[in-house]
Amino acid sequence: MPNKVKKIALEEHFSTPELAQYNPGITEMMGVESYKYYGQRLMEFDKRLEDMDKNGIDMSILSVTTPGVQAEPDAAVATKRAHEVNDFLASVIQKHPTRFGGFAHLALQDPKGAADELERAVKQLGMKGALINGQTNGEYLDDQKFWPMWERAEALGVPIYLHPGNAMRTSPANEGYVELSGPGWAWGPETAAHTLRLVYGGVFDRFPKTTVILGHMGEALTFMFWRMDSRYAVMRHGKPLQKQPSQYIRDNVMVTTSGSFSMSPLLCSMLEIGSDRIMFSVDYPFEKTEEAVEFIDNAPISQIDREKICHLNVEKLLKLDS
């Protein structure tokens, strides 16, 4: 018998007509007809609820799909649209407060403004943190210009979900193969490198209470811990760290099962960071909810680990039980 438990899904995307203009790269990767299906699902909330009910998802934490306003070159336009989409998401949540929660959308083109919008979204709109879609106009979150955002997130006690996004330039190794673009490959190494920039850039030393969430079972970082530490010991250091590189991942990063419904990555993550730092996700609408649910319900893990991964960890992190 399946081991059914309460489930809160953490990486569940939506979009709006105003934000859809920023998605031509994704349309190209998936093809027009394929993305047409996803584009419709991103903007439909009633069908989302039907899908949740059908598959036993109790609550979904909604977030803007990549890239959102981070692809907007005009900071004022990005700020305005981020404010508007956060208000829109709050109105959706208000209609279904026990079924939906939300991560704020931020215009990182103005780091101080993004910090202020994060605070507004959390304190006034009830958001549970923010989701950031990779780099913003070629700038990564280890840059000290973004430290006001990290400082505010730490002060508010909310996590930052670091979600994949396209790099500014295609890696030469990926050129000529559309299969290597986006979620097929390129997003994983890009997001893992972004996370390690936070480690080596001293973000977690400066803001030790910060929590970053990574999807897709940690973007393969947990597979690399031993080698990461081994090579750090013999390489030149830009900024000497207070701990081993892998320890920052264990202490400051939590991972989700989004788009990774395979036992080997799950078991590796459990062995390396523990079941207390893994959370259930689907990656709706880009993955099938029934596959995510079947995977975690039938995973050969203990029932307490299943409870932690499916709802206890996220309830604690996002303070949902209060």
Catalytic residue among 46, 142, 283, 297: 283
CA atoms of 62 and 127, how far apart (whole Å): 10
To the nearest whole percent, how much of the chain has pLDDT over 70? 96
> pLDDT category, 239, cuts 50, 70, 90?
confident
**Does residue 33 surpass a pLDDT of 80?**
no
CA dihedral for 188, 189, 192, 198, sign (positive or negative): negative
Q: Could you tell me the pTM of the whole model?
A: 0.96
Our CA angle for 268, 274, 279, nearest 5°, is 90
**Does residue 94 surpass a pLDDT of 60?**
yes
Q: What is the pLDDT of residues 263-316, one digit of tens each?
A: 999 999 999 999 999 999 999 999 999 999 999 999 999 999 999 999 999 999
Strand, coil or helix: what is 302? coil
> pLDDT category, 39, cuts 50, 70, 90?
confident
Closest CA to 218 of 182, 241, 246, 179: 246
CA atoms of 158 and 249, how far apart (whole Å): 17
CA atoms of 128 and 160, how far apart (whole Å): 9
**What rounded mean pLDDT belongs to the chain?**
95
Burial 223-255 (b: 16+ CB within 10 A, else e): bbbeebeeeeeeeeeeeebeebbbebbeebbbb
Extended strands (E) in 166-266: 212-214, 253-256
Up-side HSE of residue 36: CA atoms within 13 Å toward CB?
3
Assess whether 276 carries a catalytic annotation. no
- The reported pLDDT for the residue numbered 295 is 98
Q: What is the pLDDT of residues 180-223, one digit of tens each?
A: 989 999 999 999 999 999 999 999 999 999 999 999 999 999 99
**Does residue 246 surpass a pLDDT of 70?**
yes
**Does residue 1 surpass a pLDDT of 70?**
no
| Phi, psi of 51, rounded to the nearest 5 degrees | -65, -40
Lowest mean pLDDT among 28-42, 73-87, 141-155, 237-251: 28-42
